[in-house]
Each structure stands twice: as C-alpha cells, then as structure tokens.
Structure 1
Amino acid sequence: MNIDDFVEAIAPQSEDYSKISRNSYAVLFEVADRKKTGKVTEADWNAFVSLLGQPDAEYQIAFKLFDTQRQGAVNFDDFVKTYDEHKSEDALPFDWTSKWVSLYAGKPDNRTPMSYPMFSQMLSGLLGERVRQAFGHYDPNGTGFIDRLQFEEIIRKAASHKLSDKLLNNLHVVCDAKVNGNDTNKISYAQVRALLNVIRHADLIDKLTVVATKNSPDGQVDRIQFMDAASKNTKGSLLSPLEVDILFKLSSLGDSPSLSSEKISVESFKQAFDPLWLSPEARYAKSLGKKVDAAKNALTSPHTFLGEVFESVYNFSLGAMAGAFGATVVYPIDMVKTRMQNQRASTPGQQLLYKNSWDCFKKVIAREGPRGLYSGLGPQLVGVAPEKAIKLTVNDLVRGKAADKNGNITLPWEIIAGGTAGACQVVFTNPLEIVKIRLQIQGEVAKHTDAPKRSAIWIVRNLGLVGLYKGASACLLRDVPFSAIYFPTYAHLKKDYFGEGPNHKLPIWQLLVAGAVAGMPAAYLTTPCDVIKTRLQVEARSGETSYTGLRHAFSTILREEGPAAFFKGGAARVLRSSPQFGCTLAAYEMLHNLLPLPGHGASTEAGYKVPSSSDIPQSPVHHIRSRNALKILLDIDENFGKPGTLTPERAALIPGLKKD
C-alpha cells in the first residue's frame, strides 16, 4: 500500500481529529516502510500491526522513527535533524546543547548514540524540560514568575493535545491571589510544574476519581475524600497539595451549579483532562451531524452510513426482540382482530360466527383450544426484527438527505421519510402477513369445511412468489400512511412533549410511551386499509364473495356491509398496545443489560441518551495505538508530522484528509 492507503488503514475518517491532525498519522508511514521504498508490503504491514500490539508500542514507534540508520540506536544529530524537519515555525524555544540533554546524549562535543531504554526515558521527560526551558525564556531575570498570557502560550503549545478545549479556554483559573499575593496576572513555576504533573498522571487520576466517587451518593467527592482514596490505592503520595488544589480548580469548570472547586466528579475531571471531551450540546450536534452527513453520502460511502445506523439498528433490534415478547403476550388480541375483520355480513338464514370480540375469543378457545389463539405467531415473530431494521434505515436515510446542516427537517419531509420507510417494508412484510393471516383464519375454516390444517411452509409453496404478494397494494395503503403518521408523531412526542435534547436523555419508559401513543392514531386511522388487506389475503369460503382487487373489495364491502365494516378490529388494534407496552418495557430493559452494544458495557438505564465521554465506543486498536504514539511525538513539538511528511499535492490525494 502507498501512503494514502496507509493513512486510510490507521486513521479512519470516522474518528475525531480535533486534537491530533489526520495528516500527522502519515509520519508513521516512515516506520512501516522498513525498506524505504515508498510502499508498505504485506510483510511490512503485518510487522507494523505486530508492533502496535506491543505494550510499549508508543515508545518503540518513536524509537524506530528516529533510528533513521536502522542501527538499533538513535544518533543524536539524526534526532535533532528529524526534529527540525517537523517542528512548527513558532515552536517553544529549546536548547539542544543544554545540560539536561547532555545527561542523556553526552556532552555536545562527544554525543553518544542512545539505546532504546535511554531514548525512551529521555522522551518521557522531554515535555517537562520543554516547559522548564520555555518558562526560563519568559523569565530571564529568574523571578520565578511569568504573566498569565505567557503561561497559557506554554501550555497550549506543549500540552494542548492532552487537554480539553474547556480547560484550555479557562487556564486563567490557575492564577490565584492566595498563591501569588496581590498580583493575579502572574503565575509561579511551582504552579506550572504542578499542572504539568497533573497532566502527566491524568490516566491514573481518572481511575482514582472513579474509585473515590464510587460510593458517593451524588457522584462527587471533596479534597479530603479524594486524597484519602489516593493514599489507599497508591503507594506514597501521588499528588502534592498544590497539585490537588489545581486539580480541583480545573475540574470545577463544569456546567453543574452544584459543583464547586471544593468537589470533583468523574465527568468534571474528564471535561478538563480528556482532550476529546465535548459539551453535551456539542456531542449531540456532532452525533446528529455525523448521521446527516452519512445519510447524504450513503450512495458513495455506504459503509459509513451503515455504521452510523448500526447503533440505532441495535436499539431497534432489541426493541424488536422485546416487541416480539410483547407481541406474543397480546397476540390473542391480534387473532381476534383478524377474525372480526374477516367476518362477512350475515346472509338470510345464516348467522354471524361471532357476535363481538369477546364472543370470538371464547369460541376460539372452545373450538380450537388455547393454542388456537396463537395460530400464525411464527411468521409474526420472524418479521418483527427485519421490519424494524428496514423501516429505521430507510427513514434515517431519507431524513438525512432532507435535513439541513444542523440536522433540522421540515414536517413534509418527515412525513415523506416515514411513508417511504413504510413502503419499503412491504417487500418483506407482505409475504409474512399473508401467511400469518391464513394461519389465523384456517382454524375456523377447518371447523366448518373439515379442511385439513396447513403449515406455514405449505402455504408458502402453494401461494408461490406471486401469491405471496397478493394484497400488496392494500398493504402499501396501510403501511405508507401508518409510517407517515407514526414516525413524525413519535419524533415530535420525544422532542416537544418529553423534551429530548442534548441535556435530557429519555428513559426507556418515555420512549415506549411515545411509541405507544404515536401508534394509536396510526393504527386506528389505517384500519380500513387493514380490513381490505385482510379480505384480499384470506381465501374466501364457499358462498362468499371473492374480491378481484383493491377497488372491488372496497366497493363490495361498502355496499354489502356499510362504512362501519372498514373499522372492524380498529379498537383491538389500539387496545393491544397497552398490555404490550408493559411487557415490552420489562423485556427491553432486561435485553439492554444482557446484550450490551459492543464497547459500551452493560447498561443500567436502557434507552437513548447523549453519550458521555465514557460511553463512546472504543476506536479500532490500530488507531488507538497509533494515536498514543503520536501523543509522544507531539510532546516533542505540537506540529510534529504535519510539515515535511506530506506535500500539498500528496495530501490532496488522500480521501477525506483534513486540510490544516
């Protein structure tokens, strides 16, 4: 593979490159291209992947990058040359002839090659030395203080890739009159060093915060509680009092009014020291924007679109399984609904089979047994999951195509999106519907004609491909308006009634209430089409009118039975949603815990929520390891990997490469 293919492999376009430019990943090509041919062979790629799997991969990659002569040691002059090629024009001043450098590479007139252990140790301390030298540059008189703007420049250039934008925009809170006397525009070297140590131990502090807040009722701990947890879970004092003070100040930048500089929580710590942290509003907008972009580019990048809808399909799949359980519980109501819809007007000398729904229910049990109430359940369960997946994918696709850059969509397009989703599902659901209905009806047919009961497989074979789509026109007339009503109603109930948004996640019961309420008008208003579909798909008994098509069925039912016939079973279609809601709720919560989405872990609260930083699924391992390696390189210089690695012409060839 060439450099373009390499960047595509280790830096997926779907990842976040707000802190580490996607261009920078191209510098790793020099490590993978072992023979310097400009191409990475399969053997080279396998070796690079194996390297990424090493526990010290980050340091090994940096070592191999600077070991330009492939001698197993880094020549100091080669190291400085590579550094000069990659450093930014306004880099922090650094003296490579300083005493600190001599401690690792020898005196300037007698530099010695650095072995892997020596080189990796030098890199681990390089960031601290860069900050120390930069501080000395801005404090030439050795006062021990620099002004606030100089301090912010040092931190931004040295460690912006390790900090959130929230913290970088609030670095001034480190300046405190209690430390600096009356001069609040000055900051001491002790404070700079304390902040740097907190950054260095950020991963460990993150884990300690989780431990410290584990048993806290409000998820927050004060300084004493945090330091107590740190002393119990580490050997010795991890943080000095000044470092703890800065930690709590910077972790109090949250939006929660209940959180002050006296308290810290897991999320408040992440918002300061997680470089990828975003506010709930930004996460919400970004998630929505990615879905819209993926939908707009679905034809050119189908994998990206399918990846974006995967989580939604997962939720709907669990909902489908839970719905299958709920459908099983209320299936007898569906059975009664179908029998009542198929019952024709009585003719002279012939009585109606069922007086009402309750009479139908009793007679089915009496004549066919309890199992008769579940005839045709199999096709119903088979069709639940695919139906949900098809409807969701098509609805998301059309909504994404019609949405503006902010994800907003007009009501007409919402209706079109829902209707299109309903139309697409008919291709799959109509065959299952006709099989289900014939299984539901054959019990009463067999009772009156002594006809043998048929299996679902026999019905499919007997109908053939064309027969399976009998009544498809009526199915379209039912499912298109159903989805056109259901999806917009569901979306607006969530947003306008329950207040779903970036700061308000909806619990599962609200989602299911919204779904149940949205389904009520959709179900009842489309009952006439459901009646016609049922009549078309059921085999007419001897003496009954055989319908030749949609229009014939409509006119015949209207003439023989009157307008009221079109709403037979309408109440049952609506009423079955109430018990189904409770059963589906219980099943959905259980499935979310038993079958968590990969990378998310078990959920204690099912339902949609704005993802927090800890909820974000894990990136591909290639990208994680490569990103960690770049973090070490960025400790050398903030611009490492951008210039000198990709020419503008070559960068333009990499699909989706973010132009800096």
Structure 2
Amino acid sequence: MAPWSHILSTVHCDSGEGASLTSAIKSVRSALHVPERELKRWRRIFDANAKVIDGEKYLDTESFVNAIAPKGDLTKIGRAQFAILFRVADTSKRGLVSWEDFTVFETLLKRPDADYWIAFEYFDVDNSGFISFDEFKNVFMANVGPDAIPFNFDCDWLKLYIGKKNGTRALGYNEFTQLMKGLQGERLRQAFRYLDPDQDGFIRPDQFKRIILELAGHKLSDAVIERLPTLCTLSPGQKISYSEVIAFHNVIRQMDMVERIIREATAKSKDGRIDQSDFLNHSAASSRYSLFTPMEASIIFHFAGRGIATQRLALIDFASLLDPRWKAPHEEVEPQVSPPRVSLLEGFLHSSYNFVLGGIAGAFGATIVYPIDMVKVCLWTFCFGSSLYLKAMRLVPIDSIFLNEGFLGFYRGIGPQLIGVAPEKAIKLTVNDLVRERATDPETGRIKLGWELIAGGMAGGCQVVFTNPLEIVKIRLQVQGEAAKVEGALPKGAVHIIRQLGILGLYKGASACLLRDIPFSAIYFPAYWHLKKDLFHEGYNGKQLSFMETLAAAGIAGMPAAYFTTPADVVKTRLQVEARQGQTHYKGLRDAFVKIYKEEGFRALFKGGPARVLRSSPQFGFTLLGYETLKIYLPYPWAEKPRTVETALTARPDDMSKIRARNALKILLDVHGDFGRRAAASGVPLSLSSPRLSSLRETK
C-alpha cells in the first residue's frame, strides 16, 4: 500500500488540475470502505467542534483535540498532548483543519495500524513516503528538550536499521515500525550508560527516576513515581543495577499482561489475595513460556506492597501500579463533630433505602408467582380430597381452580400477600445486605462462607416477624374458598380472620416458619452470590450481569433452598390451616411432624415440593432481579463507592478511532515524555526546509 502522505499529495495534485478535492477524498474513502453512516457521524463531530473562519468551518488546535480525544480516558496522557496529532491532520500546514482534512484523518484512524502510521506521518515531514537518517534525527531532536538524556545517533543499533554508508539509506513504513518498537529499549541502554560513567553497572536512585520519567512517566501513577528511588532497597548497596532497570522496564511494557494475571489470580484465590509464588504460578499456567522473571515479580510486589514484597496482596493493592491515574487515599481525616450521630443517620438512611427497594421488588415477584402458590397450598390441605374436587374427575389443580372459580381464583388472598410481602422481603434483603456489608473484607470484597450463612440465616429469621402473620391469613383466605363451596359457608375477609386469631394467633406455627425461613435464606443468598461470581463471572474485568443472567442466578439458587425446606413448610401450613371436622388436629411442631409421618408417610413431608420449587424459584428470581435493577437505576445518592482499579481492561469500549489516536500518541511519547511540546510551543510547522528543525535545540 502506498504511503498515506503520497495518497494525500496525489489527491491535492489531482484537485489542482481541476478535479474536485471532495471527489478525490470520497474516492479514497471508498477505497478504504468507509460507510456513509460513519461519514455522517464524523460530520456531526466536526460541526459540533468547528469554528467559523472567513465563512468556512475549521478546527483549530483546541477544537481538534476536543473532537478526537477519548472521553474519560483512563491513561495519564493529558488532553493537551493530543495536539501533537494536529500536525498530522493539518496537511496544508496552515494551522487549521478543514472538513476534508478531518475526513482524511478519521479515515486514517480506521486503519488497523493507525497508531504506527500516524507516527510515521509525523516523522515523514517531506511527505516522501520514506524517512532518512537526517529526517529521523532532526524530528527527534526538535521534540526533545535540552535537558533530556542525550541519545547517540551514531550507535551501532541505529546503523543496523539505517546502514553505515553515509547514512543514505531511508526507512520505509514497515522498517520504521520495527525501529520505533525497539527505540525505547535502546534509549534505556544508552541512558544507563550515560549516567554510569565509571561503568560499574550501577546508578543512583535519583538517576533511575530520571530515566523512567523521560521514557515512561506517562504510564505510571504519581504514587509509583514518588517511590521509584526505593527500587534500590531490593538489593544491598543502595544503588540500582542495570538488571533491575531492565526488569522494571519490562514490567511497564507488559503492564496489560501483568494486570490480566493479577486479576485472574486474585479472582481464583480463596481469600482474594496473592503472593509472588501465586503470581508466577498463574503466569506460567496462562502462557506457553514464562513471561516474568523472579526479579520482575519482586518489582511488581515491591511497588504494590509499598516496600514489603513478601506479603499477600489484594487487587486493590496493585492499583497504584496498574492505574496511571490512581490517587492515593487521604490518610488524614478531619475530625468530625459527633461522628456517632452521623453514622447512625447514615445507617438509617441506607437501611431505609434498601427497605423500600426490597418491598417494591418483593411485591413484583409475589404477583408473578401467586397462582403457583395458590396451587401449592391446595395440594397441602384438604381441598383436593373433597367431594367437589373428586367430581372434577381427577383434573389437575389448575383446571379445578379455573373451572370452579375462574381466573381470579388464582389470585384469591393476594391482598394481604401484597400488603405483607413488602416488609417481609424488605427486611430479608436489608438484613442480609447489612450483615454481608459488615463482614466483607473492604480490600478484597470477599466474605467468608460462614458469614454468608450467618447473614442469610439472620435475614430469614428476622423476616418471620412479618411472614408468619401474613401467611396464616393468606392460607386461610386461600382454603376458605373451597370450604365455602362445600359447606355453604360465606367466605370471610382478612380483617375477620385477624380479629378471630388475635395477636398470639397470628404467630401460630412460628417455630415451623423459623425452621423453614432460616435454612432457606442461609442456602439461598450464598448460592445466589456464588452463582453470580463463579458461574456468570460478575465483576470479572468489570463485567455487569445482564437481566437474564441475574434472573438465572436468582432462580437457580432458589431451587435447592425451596426443596430442602419443604418439610418445614408442610408442617407450618398444616399448623396454620383452620382444622375442620374429620381432619387431624396438630398440637405443635413436633406433634405435626410425628403425625404426618405416621399417617401419611415420609413422602408427605415433601408433598408439593416441586410446586414449591416452581413457586419460590421464579418468585425470588424476579424479586432479586427487581431489587438489583432498582439499585442500578435508582442508586443510593449518598453511597460511598468502593475504590476500584480502573484501566483500559475494565473500561467500556470507546470509539476505535479515538483508541487508535491515543495509541499513536503513546508511541510518540515513548520517545520522550515531553515529545511534541517544544515543537508545538514554537508554532512553526515541521519542515526540512525550515531552519528551526535543525537549530531549535540551540535557540530554546
């Protein structure tokens, strides 16, 4: 493929001979397969940032940066540094980028190798399609300050690319990309040699910091930069060897792989922490060859562990190394006036928030599955043994209810259910979240299984305060419809049932309710969270579960929890149903278990178990789905967001052209951290015919 500068010169030449520049640009776009919708998007970006000059729209340096710089970039590259790319887009060298220029630049960014191509265009100032030795040297020196560590252009490494014969050989595009890839390593070697005049193989800590700041300062957070001199503590002598410098540089160059290994290793670790052995073992298991040496692993853990490289570290401990924009948390906390009151108020508000969302989600889930619950209750009580249902010729319960009471029969008794389900589900979700939050390690985000079981059990136990009165009224409302038809009695409302039972009567069967709800929640919540994390990989590389994944995790977790607690639910229902003539009377929890087992057998304790699974599993699935969704779209306004490690691996995908523009800038900044600033400050276009290019370093 011809160099881009050659394509541009051809376009301008053709337009000068009478052809339309716009038509020529369209031809280039067509050759590179730019869809029309992409062109319209570029036009919107251009128009949104352009300024009107002499009746035409143009982008100056500032507006150009606004148009191409990634929004919320998670690197340490400042937005102003994107002005370096303005010189590539400004093909006419007039200090303005027209719509045609912008189209060409955006088309260039669609290339898969746009980052290296832009770097090539920056060095190819004469638009020849080749870069000579003098051209490379002059552009290099024009962008590096006088205080920079000098680079020897007469070195053997550069001659291997350029050649020895009078420096006449010019580099094509592919050769230039390989030169740029190895340039930083050669600069590192020369810088160490320059700062080690006695050639003893060591440099001072401040000299090491100077090297790293020039070559990779934009890749490191301020916290790591401040601790760069401490690298000398890894070995005796208070100096830094060439091996340590190379090892540190290798860590920086492979930071993406370092991050992947750390994230995967900490995710698989039982306690959410890893040591050097875990890091090296996971590295070896994740690649064909060993990626990192023991010295490189020591350096990683030295900076993550703030000098204590032997400790086990969580992902958050590596944040200062992985995230270039990481800011160290403030250690000094201003004294607060009456902190207990603030803490109690915050806790009350947060619990109230969870309570309200839990109530709404609970009502949503209960409404969806209430017909299943109606069938389940009828299976456990006398109704399907009555003469009315025997006449139904063995119809399944669904057909029987529909034939005798119609569709609304499936929702008989739902009123008290909806009134009571709000506090019931709300207190369960609130208590579980509260206990889990207190027991979770703030650094790893992990909670021990024992505390998960305790949190779920406490949540189930607390909900009985609301569950038992709710269910005894609901059950009596559900079964009285059948009894009214058989015995000719008028159905009674919820208020009458409550008055009839009294306060103590509303808690009849509470022991069985506790026996059901405590193990149910102790099974359900840990299963739910582990399914989200281990099966659907929530949080891995910033992943957020979809609606279906959340619903599946919540639904699957409810299956074992519902089935294994069926015996307690059977006994609770029998105790709460108002016994009629000819039916067995139960004196209490133990008596009910014994009589059911003797009279009906062991299988009776699991009677209706599948129906309970069919009811509880989707109910809690939709309840948790509603709860999680509400927390996303109605977040707690005063929540303290946990500190996270935000990098390109976890960020939402940005527009690919913006990513390539950023990567092109990184390649140029690898030459020197201040690359482009001096040339931009001069305001004079780069040109081989300009005396500034060869004398800029003397005039500055």
Task: Give the alignment partner of residue 74 of structure 2, picking from 6, 16, 23.
Answer: 16
The corresponding residue for 2:104 is: 44
Instruction: Give unpaired runs (5+ residues) of structure 2.
Output: 1-45, 50-58, 331-356, 555-627, 629-641, 683-700
1:59 Cα deviation (Å)? 2.1
Identity %: 23
The corresponding residue for 1:153 is: 210
Paired with 1:33 and 1:565, the residues of 2 have a C-alpha distance of 85
Paired with 2:490 and 2:103, the residues of 1 have a C-alpha distance of 73
Paired with 2:532 and 2:681, the residues of 1 have a C-alpha distance of 48
Paired with 2:396 and 2:328, the residues of 1 have a C-alpha distance of 50
CA 1:627 to 1:45, structure 2 compared with 1: closer, same or farther past 3 Å?
Answer: closer
Paired with 1:492 and 1:525, the residues of 2 have a C-alpha distance of 23
Task: Give the alignment partner of residue 629 of structure 1, picking from 664, 673, 677.
Answer: 664
> Aligned letter for 1:633?
L
The corresponding residue for 2:401 is: 443
Paired with 1:39 and 1:567, the residues of 2 have a C-alpha distance of 82
The corresponding residue for 1:192 is: 245
CA 1:221 to 1:136, structure 2 compared with 1: closer, same or farther past 3 Å?
Answer: closer
> Aligned letter for 1:502?
E
CA 1:68 to 1:513, structure 2 compared with 1: closer, same or farther past 3 Å?
Answer: farther
Task: Give the alignment partner of residue 173 of structure 2, picking from 116, 127, 144.
Answer: 116
1:214 Cα deviation (Å)? 13
Task: Give the alignment partner of residue 513 of structure 1, picking from 452, 456, 466.
Answer: 456
**Deviation digits for residues 306-342 of structure 1, max 9, x if unmatched?**
xxxxxxxxxx9xxx99x97x999997556678xxxxx
1:93 Cα deviation (Å)? 2.7
The corresponding residue for 2:298 is: 248
1:522 Cα deviation (Å)? 8.6
Query: Are residues 1:92 and 2:148 paired?
Result: yes
Paired with 2:132 and 2:155, the residues of 1 have a C-alpha distance of 18
1:154 Cα deviation (Å)? 1.6
CA 1:643 to 1:521, structure 2 compared with 1: closer, same or farther past 3 Å?
Answer: farther
TM-score by length of 2: 0.48
Query: Are residues 1:501 and 2:452 paired?
Result: no
RMSD over aligned CA atoms reads 6.6
> Aligned letter for 1:639?
D
The corresponding residue for 2:589 is: none
CA 1:578 to 1:189, structure 2 compared with 1: closer, same or farther past 3 Å?
Answer: closer
> Aligned letter for 2:650?
I
**Deviation digits for residues 222-255 of structure 1, max 9, x if unmatched?**
599879959x944xx988xxx6435424434554
What does residue range 307-456 of structure 1 map to in structure 2 within 5 Å? Answer: 333=373, 358=381, 372=397, 443=401, 447=404, 452-453=406-407
CA 1:233 to 1:48, structure 2 compared with 1: closer, same or farther past 3 Å?
Answer: same
1:48 Cα deviation (Å)? 3.4
Query: Are residues 1:134 and 2:191 paired?
Result: yes
Paired with 1:57 and 1:102, the residues of 2 have a C-alpha distance of 24
Quick check: 27-36 or 632-641, which moved more? 27-36
The corresponding residue for 1:466 is: none
Paired with 2:500 and 2:224, the residues of 1 have a C-alpha distance of 67
CA 1:33 to 1:565, structure 2 compared with 1: closer, same or farther past 3 Å?
Answer: farther
- Give SS of 1:251's match: helix
Paired with 1:254 and 1:279, the residues of 2 have a C-alpha distance of 14
Paired with 1:596 and 1:209, the residues of 2 have a C-alpha distance of 16
> Aligned letter for 2:177?
S
1:495 Cα deviation (Å)? 2.0
Paired with 2:433 and 2:267, the residues of 1 have a C-alpha distance of 36
CA 1:591 to 1:102, structure 2 compared with 1: closer, same or farther past 3 Å?
Answer: closer
> Aligned letter for 1:94?
P
CA 1:121 to 1:329, structure 2 compared with 1: closer, same or farther past 3 Å?
Answer: same
1:148 Cα deviation (Å)? 1.5
Aligned length: 475
The corresponding residue for 1:301 is: none
Quick check: 558-567 or 487-496, which moved more? 558-567
Paired with 1:208 and 1:493, the residues of 2 have a C-alpha distance of 31
- Give SS of 2:130's match: coil
CA 1:221 to 1:249, structure 2 compared with 1: closer, same or farther past 3 Å?
Answer: closer
Give yes or no for contact 1:280–1:610 (8 Å, CA) kept in 2.
Answer: no
Give yes or no for contact 2:69–2:658 (8 Å, CA) kept in 1.
Answer: yes
Give yes or no for contact 1:250–1:272 (8 Å, CA) kept in 2.
Answer: no
TM-score by length of 1: 0.51
Paired with 1:137 and 1:630, the residues of 2 have a C-alpha distance of 27
Paired with 2:380 and 2:291, the residues of 1 have a C-alpha distance of 73
> Aligned letter for 1:492?
L
CA 1:119 to 1:248, structure 2 compared with 1: closer, same or farther past 3 Å?
Answer: same
Paired with 2:139 and 2:442, the residues of 1 have a C-alpha distance of 48
Give yes or no for contact 1:23–1:642 (8 Å, CA) kept in 2.
Answer: no
1:16 Cα deviation (Å)? 1.7
Task: Give the alignment partner of residue 638 of structure 1, picking from 673, 694, 700.
Answer: 673
1:632 Cα deviation (Å)? 1.8
- Give SS of 1:636's match: coil
The corresponding residue for 1:389 is: none
The corresponding residue for 1:62 is: 119
- Give SS of 1:175's match: helix
**Deviation digits for residues 390-423 of structure 1, max 9, x if unmatched?**
xxxxxxxxxxxxxxxxxxxxxxxxxxxxxxxxxx
Paired with 1:640 and 1:571, the residues of 2 have a C-alpha distance of 79
- Give SS of 1:637's match: coil
Paired with 1:332 and 1:211, the residues of 2 have a C-alpha distance of 42
Paired with 1:26 and 1:544, the residues of 2 have a C-alpha distance of 86
The corresponding residue for 2:310 is: 260
1:149 Cα deviation (Å)? 1.4
Query: Are residues 1:562 and 2:499 paired?
Result: yes
**Deviation digits for residues 594-625 of structure 1, max 9, x if unmatched?**
6556966899x989998678983664355554
Paired with 1:328 and 1:158, the residues of 2 have a C-alpha distance of 61
1:207 Cα deviation (Å)? 8.1
1:635 Cα deviation (Å)? 1.0
- Give SS of 2:295's match: helix
Instruction: Give unpaired runs (5+ residues) of structure 1.
Output: 283-315, 338-353, 376-441, 460-469, 547-552, 648-660
Paired with 2:677 and 2:418, the residues of 1 have a C-alpha distance of 55
> Aligned letter for 1:70?
N
- Give SS of 2:203's match: strand
Paired with 1:248 and 1:85, the residues of 2 have a C-alpha distance of 38
What does residue range 276-295 of structure 1 map to in structure 2 within 5 Å? Answer: 276=324
- Give SS of 2:110's match: helix
**Deviation digits for residues 339-386 of structure 1, max 9, x if unmatched?**
xxxxxxxxxxxxxxx9x985569779879879647x9xxxxxxxxxxx
Paired with 1:216 and 1:595, the residues of 2 have a C-alpha distance of 17
> Aligned letter for 2:310?
S
Paired with 1:154 and 1:84, the residues of 2 have a C-alpha distance of 17
> Aligned letter for 2:499?
G
Give yes or no for contact 1:527–1:568 (8 Å, CA) kept in 2.
Answer: no
> Aligned letter for 1:637?
H
